Amino acid sequence: MTNLPSPTMESEQFFDEEEEVPLEKDSPLHNLILLRTLQEIKAAVETIDVFTVPIPSRSANVVLSSLRAIVPTSLQHLRRLVKPCYIPDSLVDFLAVPTTPPEENILYLLVCPVTDISEENLRNFLQELPAFSTTGVVPRIMTVAVPSSQPISAVQATEWSAKYWPAVYKRGNPYGPHPSIVSQSLRALVDPEKHLRLAKQVATQAASSGEGLGFGAVIVDPQTGQILAAAGDARLRCKEKGWGNPLDHAAMRAIDMVAQRRLGRTQNVRPDNKVEVWDGKYLEDEEAPAKADTKADENSNTENEDKDGDADDRKDDGYLCHNLQVYLSHEPCVMCSMALLHSRVGAVAFGTRMTRTGALNAEEGGRQMGLFWRPELNWKFVCWQWKAEPGEEMKSHENVDA
Ligand SMILES: [Zn+2]
């Protein structure tokens, strides 16, 4: 048969570049389920109608290049010329795909979206080409629905190839974190199992103290592996005023602890590295340090100082939790999710999904906010849910903001 360039599928390889090195079989990281972004979820279900036409394989390249003159080049994420054997089962009858020889003599050409040209104009154009004009065969133009956007993983490309049309996966992701970012972030997580367990532990302590609901948060510095804050919810805690603070959610308190810690370091009034686990005492009850003058810090050599213990040697860029890791017992509410975003955290893993109040998940069956990765927001982070063993998941009232 004619030698054809890359558009023709020569194998069942649906992705263009090599895959990431897989995790070890028994890695606990397998328990972390990557959250899909809102755009990824939308892209996964949107299809467009496109024209396809069977053409003689020997004329494939000529027809394809001729078409470029009249319709814009699009559909880069789909195979343009497909052998009959790679047409998805669901389309075989509809396209009347030949199953016996000489099936190798035809290819199915994916032409363009139906919005780019009318069927009549396309037919007239094709009939003028030698592939049809010399044989007198009338082009058999058909319409099929294909995914409108590119697949975001090799797995998705394989699924689409079996369901809609052979798809091409190019490593990259316009709708969410690039696979290499996901892979790096995942491997950079500092003992997520341990820190999620700690988040659940402080959640239990917060609830049993009666001063908060059963939610917990832990913030870890990936550069040092050190826990910078561990906080339970404290919204029910009554102080001298006699009522609780509805803003005292676990994540808000943990972020605040990091702030207090950093102030302590810059003023050298809190040199300890103690893990601030919820113990019924809140940092703001202590003598509040005044706002630090960070100017002096900018002039110091942050790379070399504090080698001997103080873990907070991050560059003072004005963002409290820049690239820190956050472990939460539950999916956070809108307020906490936005606070994490504004603090510029690097990665979040949470335990229980909060279907009615959680703001990170973008999947159906919830609020579908997907705040961790939205194009209109000026910071994004990678987010996972820890897949709990049966009976291990922390339950809580579904209407409550965590
Ligand atoms: Zn919250």
Q: What is the pLDDT of residue 262?
A: 79
**Of 149, 251, 273, residue with least CA distance to 202:** 251
pLDDT, tens only, 43-99? 777 899 999 999 988 889 899 999 988 988 788 899 999 998 899 999 988 888 876
- Spatial distance between the Cα atoms of 399 and 82, rounded to a whole number of angstroms: 50
Q: What is the pLDDT of residue 295?
A: 36
Q: Is the peptide bond before 102 cis (omega within 30 degrees of 0)?
A: yes
Distance from residue 256's CA to the centre of ligand 1 (Å): 13
Range with the largest mean pLDDT of 14-28, 281-295, 341-355:
341-355
Residues, CB-to-ion distance under 5 Å, ligand 1: 249, 332-333, 336
Share of the chain above pLDDT 70, in %: 79
Q: What is the pLDDT of residue 165?
A: 96
Torsion sign over Cα 45, 51, 57, 59: negative
More confident residue, 352 or 97: 352
Q: What is the pLDDT of residue 63?
A: 92
The C-alpha angle with vertex 55 and arms to 11 and 1, in degrees rounded to 5, equals: 50
The answer on pLDDT for 272 being more than 80 is: no
Distance from residue 321's CA to the centre of ligand 1 (Å): 17
Calculate mean pLDDT across residues 271-290: 38
Distance from residue 29's CA to the centre of ligand 1 (Å): 25
- Helix, strand and coil in the chain, % to nearest 5: 30, 15, 55
Distance from residue 248's CA to the centre of ligand 1 (Å): 8
Q: How far apart are the first and last CA of the chain?
A: 63
Distance from residue 224's CA to the centre of ligand 1 (Å): 27
Range with the largest mean pLDDT of 178-182, 228-232, 281-285:
228-232
Q: What is the pLDDT of residue 301?
A: 35
3-state SS of 126-176 is HHHCHHHHCCCCCCCCEEEEEECCCCCCHHHHHHHHHHCCCECECCCCCCC
Q: What is the pLDDT of residue 137?
A: 83
Q: What is the pLDDT of residue 179?
A: 85
Calculate mean pLDDT across residues 272-281: 41
Distance from residue 10's CA to the centre of ligand 1 (Å): 52
238, 216 in Cβ contact below 8 A?
A: no
Calculate mean pLDDT across residues 233-243: 81
208, 202 in Cβ contact below 8 A?
A: no
**Of 349, 393, 25, residue with least CA distance to 192:** 349
Residue 178's CB is within 10 A of a number of other CB atoms, namely 13
pTM value?
Answer: 0.69
Q: What is the pLDDT of residue 155?
A: 85
Q: What is the pLDDT of residue 22?
A: 79
Tell whether domain 28-43+169-266+318-401 is in CATH 3.20.20.140.
no
More confident residue, 97 or 247: 247
The answer on pLDDT for 100 being more than 50 is: yes
Distance from residue 337's CA to the centre of ligand 1 (Å): 7
Calculate mean pLDDT across residues 178-201: 94
Q: What is the pLDDT of residue 154?
A: 85
Confidence of residue 317 (pLDDT cuts 50, 70, 90): low
Q: Which amino acid is at 394?
A: M
Q: What is the pLDDT of residue 7?
A: 39
Confidence of residue 316 (pLDDT cuts 50, 70, 90): low
Supply 396's token pair: 């809580």
Calculate mean pLDDT across residues 111-133: 93
Calculate mean pLDDT across residues 318-331: 92
Distance from residue 250's CA to the centre of ligand 1 (Å): 7
Distance from residue 300's CA to the centre of ligand 1 (Å): 36
Helix (H, G, I), strand (E, B) or coil at 364: coil
Q: What is the pLDDT of residue 398?
A: 86
The answer on pLDDT for 296 being more than 70 is: no
Residue 263's CB is within 10 A of a number of other CB atoms, namely 18
Calculate mean pLDDT across residues 234-262: 87
Calculate mean pLDDT across residues 254-275: 63
| Residue ranges covered by each domain of the chain | 28-43+169-266+318-401, 51-144
pLDDT, tens only, 4-48? 444 344 344 444 444 567 788 889 899 999 999 999 888 777 899
Task: Sort 293 into a burial class: Cβ within 10 Å, 0-12 / 13-18 / 19+.
Answer: exposed
Q: What is the pLDDT of residue 311?
A: 43
